[in-house]
Amino acid sequence: MSDTLTDTRLIEEAAFAGKIYIDGQWVVGGAGEIPSIEPATGATLAMVGMASPADVARAAASAAEAQKAWAATPHPQRAAVLRKAAQLWEQHADEIMGWNIREVGAIPPLAGFALHVTAAECYEAASLPSAPLGSILSSEEPRLSLAQQIPVGVVGVISPFNVPLILGIRAVAPALALGNAVLLKPDPRTVITGGVSMVRIFEEAGLPAGVLQLVPGGADVGEALVADPHVRVVAFTGSTRAGRIVGELAGRHLTRAHLELGGNSAFLVREDADVDQAVNLATWGAFLHQGQICMTVGRHIVHESLFDEYVAKLAAKADSMVVGDPAAGQVHLGPLIDEVQRDRVHTLVQDAVAQGATLAAGGTYENLFYRPTVLANPPRDAAAYCDEVFGPVASVVSFATDDEAAALAADTEYGLSLGIVSRDAMAAYELAKKIPTGIVHINDQTVNDEANSPFGGVGASGTGSRHGGAQANIEAFTETRWITIRREPGQYPL
């Protein structure tokens, strides 16, 4: 590894190598260790520890005990920890960006954006300990009646590989701020960026031992986390397929599950749109981070009068983009995460072409570097069009009327994000009302994220729960308790 990643003050490989984090200590995990692989080069960056189900049980018990004192900590002290964490993300941004670039395959602008949002999530969470956490209720009895929001106790956070900082911290930070303890299970492929960095940041910020535990692992560890009786809420971000499994298991154990799942977002280009502006937006929305974002534009639905020009310009843009190692030089796209994902993407593209789609750009790869790809007129049942690809693939179809555009956009099991480009913003808004999604962007593409804004999808994109903003986070990570107080004991007729 380069000196920029090993000679650091925050993430010392000697401390975490081959270990997990339980009760404030780096300890050997019950499932051994695996290498953290740099997808761009295949090099081993470090060895990371893997937890076992027994480790999860131990961590959960420890977290439940530590949570009691943390919840009782005065709110200014909890807020101070979150503010300090935000400052530390900023202070160590260059170092953590280096891990994000090499371990995740993110290009530097995306890695920088992830650090910005991660710090912002902690600043936002710092306001939660002093937020109103209840209300006074009317009562027909002579008593004081209250509804109080109290910590749930232990929260399990399961985060994915693609944007591990943002998709982990958006649950970790508010859960901690509201007085909960957290078990964090990052994807095994991105343990350092999505796990070790968070542990070290919160250690340095003064979080007490046991309040944040790191238990990386496979499906057995995820199952143990969801099923553990100490874990009362699970925040899961990942594929719809995996989310259904988590939701089913959580239901069996009466555990609340907040599921942020897949997407196949539509990008509508109305007849009055400027094609160059639309292509600029679409390029970012379709190809950023190699398309490995849940909000990625998958379906480009373009008015028939603009279709040919749009396809030609989007294909030309795709052909001009540089794909390569983001740690070695300036590139537009980095590598896909691994060979399994690359082969899946390529199979979807090949199948769509075999079914009649026109390959306008891309469709080739070298190692894990997949060229940005444009498919024109794929069949509506082609998997590259109707499923989540999670790769740099743009499928473009045409429409004649707004009603047809709305029908095409709504013809999916997913409902995460929606983008519409039009000179008539109100007409675009009226169109958006006909398409069920959790997020709508008028005259913008679908990949947007702000720490104070509600984020979530409907349908197969999630359970309707939301991350972002005080209201959503308080609802997600607290329980509501009804409390009544009488001056004197009540009297009853029996």
Straight-line distance from the first to the last Cα atom of the chain, in angstroms, rounded to the nearest whole number: 77
Tell me the C-alpha distance between 433 and 266, whole Å. Answer: 14
Query: Residue 68: how many CB atoms within 10 A of its CB?
Result: 12
Cα radius of gyration (the chain): 24
Catalytic residues: 260, 294
The tokens for 188 are 């095994």
Return the closest-CA partner of residue 391 out of 460, 296, 283, 266. 296
Q: Which residue has the tokens 């537009």?
A: 332
In 331-437, DSSP assigns E strands to 358-361, 365-366, 369-370, 373-376, 393-399, 414-415, 417-421
Identify residue 221 by its one-letter amino acid code: V
Query: CA-CA distances (angstroms) from residue 142 to 10, 138, 139, 482, 486?
Result: 57, 10, 7, 16, 7
Tell me the C-alpha distance between 186 and 192, whole Å. Answer: 9
List the 478-485 sheet strands across, edge first: 134-137, 144-151, 478-485
The interaxial angle of helices 197-205 and 164-177, nearest 10 deg, is 30
- Do residues 89 and 168 lie in contact, with contact meaning Cβ atoms separated by under 8 Å? no
Tell me the C-alpha distance between 289 and 164, whole Å. Answer: 13
Query: CA-CA distances (angstroms) from residue 291 to 12, 17, 365, 420, 480?
Result: 31, 31, 14, 19, 39
The tokens for 103 are 């371990």
Identify residue 28 by its one-letter amino acid code: V
- Do residues 1 and 31 lie in contact, with contact meaning Cβ atoms separated by under 8 Å? no
Query: CA-CA distances (angstroms) from residue 255 to 152, 231, 409?
Result: 11, 7, 33
The tokens for 84 are 């300090």
Phi-psi region of 31 (alpha: psi -120 to 50; beta: other; left: phi over 0): alpha
Task: Give the bridge partners for 151, in sequence order.
Answer: 478
The interaxial angle of helices 470-477 and 164-177, nearest 10 deg, is 70
Tell me the C-alpha distance between 201 and 185, whole Å. Answer: 16
Query: CA-CA distances (angstroms) from residue 341 to 348, 361, 364, 450?
Result: 11, 20, 14, 28
